[in-house]
């Protein structure tokens, strides 16, 4: 999902198309994520593994204080130079969809594993633990096939609450009047979870304008009004990108390193320990659906290549996992559900300034670390080779075989 709001002439200019604007966001996010710091608060009664679910992690693992107050907003994240009396005049946000159900193929996998535990765990040793008995006798695989990737209620709350917080931080931009007069433009892909997310975000803005802050409150007389646009040419641009379709989507060797890793000794050790814990014969837990990974895409509410590139990067098989154990680059904390990328343009005395926020936290532009909100002209000058030097349509045409080195990974 993308929304954008402009109140005067100080809007971002010079981009040639919607696609090129999104490409800029992708490039800048790629530069910034390795620099993020991921210190988090300790919240009781949360499993230790909660923050390690990659792109399936809940947003609260990035913002633990939201567990105590999901509407807690912090206007201090806006940091233009105080001496210049700046005011925000334009906001562009790229937002991922909220929490969702598993997709159909994973629902079928869960059902198959559940049935396997029910029917065969008792035949193996080590299957007498009480928790395993409970799984075998009482747990039901309650996911149904019609849930296929649909947004859950928690996912709708993710976006409603995010909208409420952003309205608190940007009251002059995301005001009731601007929303009512449709000065805020919403774009989404046609994916149902993305459409549901953009609807929930608009509900959050309208709820905020009515002063209905409780998630349990009932809407007033009228139903919420939606005014979003479905634009797959922008939001799912990779589907029309021949270089991606031919070079990755239909290229069975594109994710070869992923397949090597799935069949390597590290994953074999994981399968062996899982079988022991579940009381299953080792041979019953095999690499699941070996041909499925090349067909997977991370369906997101913002440009899908961002989490795809960040969450499924293929590490070479020979890399030792212990070297990665302490790394700070974790997709769980970069692109969880409802992840967001915000560009705030300010009108300042010295000229327009631009600030970047990732998941509602300020992040300085690499190469411009001296200020939280550098002059817009300095941002454009610093990244000119990326903003003006990439012809998106030409890149998507692909390259003839033998004309360039292998760029699959």
- Rounded to whole angstroms, the Cα distance separating 178 from 172 reads 8
Q: What does the block give as tokens for 161?
A: 């609450």
Question: CB burial class (10 A; 0-12, 13-18, 19+) of residue 162?
Answer: buried
Cα three-residue angle 115-120-122, rounded to 5 degrees = 120
- Rounded to whole angstroms, the Cα distance separating 234 from 258 reads 28
Q: Is-catalytic flag, 97?
A: yes
**Active site residue: 90, 97, 192, 283, which one?**
97
Q: E strands within 119-200? A: 184-188
Cα–Cα nearest to 369, from 79, 91, 82: 79
Cα–Cα nearest to 343, from 325, 367, 362: 362
Stated as kind and residue range, the H or E segment containing 25 is helix 18-32
CA-atom Rg of the chain in angstroms:
23
Cα three-residue angle 96-341-200, rounded to 5 degrees = 40
- 281-284 LR contacts (CB < 8 Å, sep 24+): 281/120, 281/123, 281/124, 284/116, 284/120
Question: CB burial class (10 A; 0-12, 13-18, 19+) of residue 403?
Answer: exposed
In three-state secondary structure terms, 228 is strand
Q: What does the block give as tokens for 71?
A: 């509407």
Residue positions annotated with a catalytic role: 97
């Amino acid at each position: 999902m993308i929304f954008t709001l402009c109140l005067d002439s100080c809007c971002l200019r010079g981009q040639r198309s919607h696609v090129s604007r999104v490409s800029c966001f992708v490039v800048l996010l790629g530069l910034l994520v390795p620099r993020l710091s991921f210190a988090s608060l300790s919240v009781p009664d949360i499993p230790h593994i909660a923050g390690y679910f990659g792109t399936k992690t809940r947003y609260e693992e990035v913002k633990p204080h939201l567990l105590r107050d999901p509407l807690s907003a912090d206007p201090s994240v806006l940091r233009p130079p105080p001496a210049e009396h700046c005011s925000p005049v334009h906001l562009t946000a790229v937002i991922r969809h909220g929490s969702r159900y598993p997709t159909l193929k994973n629902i079928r996998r869960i059902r198959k594993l559940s049935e396997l535990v029910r029917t065969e765990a008792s035949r193996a040793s080590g299957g007498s633990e009480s928790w395993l008995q409970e799984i075998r006798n009482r747990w039901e695989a309650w996911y149904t096939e019609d849930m296929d990737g649909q947004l859950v209620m928690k996912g709708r709350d993710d976006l409603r609450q995010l909208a409420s917080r952003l309205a608190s931080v940007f009251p002059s931009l995301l005001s009731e009047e601007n929303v009512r007069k449709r000065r805020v433009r919403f774009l989404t892909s046609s994916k149902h979870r993305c459409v549901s997310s953009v609807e929930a975000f608009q509900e959050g803005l309208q709820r905020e304008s009515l002063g209905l802050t409780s998630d349990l409150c009932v809407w007033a007389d009228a139903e919420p009004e939606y005014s979003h646009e479905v634009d797959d040419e922008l939001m799912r641009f990779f589907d029309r990108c021949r270089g991606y379709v031919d070079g990755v989507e239909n290229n069975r060797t594109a994710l070869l390193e992923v397949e090597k890793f799935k069949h390597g000794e590290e994953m074999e050790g994981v399968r062996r320990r899982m079988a022991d814990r579940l009381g299953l014969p080792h041979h019953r837990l095999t690499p699941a659906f070996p041909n499925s990974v090349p067909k997977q895409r991370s369906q997101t509410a913002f440009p899908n290549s961002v989490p795809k590139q960040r969450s499924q990067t293929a590490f070479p098989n020979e890399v030792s996992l212990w070297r990665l154990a302490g790394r700070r680059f974790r997709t769980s904390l970069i692109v969880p559900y409802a992840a967001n990328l915000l560009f705030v343009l300010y009108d300042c005395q010295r000229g327009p300034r631009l600030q970047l926020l990732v998941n509602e936290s300020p992040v300085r532009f690499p190469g411009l670390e001296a200020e939280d909100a550098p002059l817009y002209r300095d941002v454009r000058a610093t990244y000119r080779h990326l903003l003006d030097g990439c012809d998106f349509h030409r890149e998507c045409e692909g390259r003839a075989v033998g004309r360039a080195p292998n760029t699959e990974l």
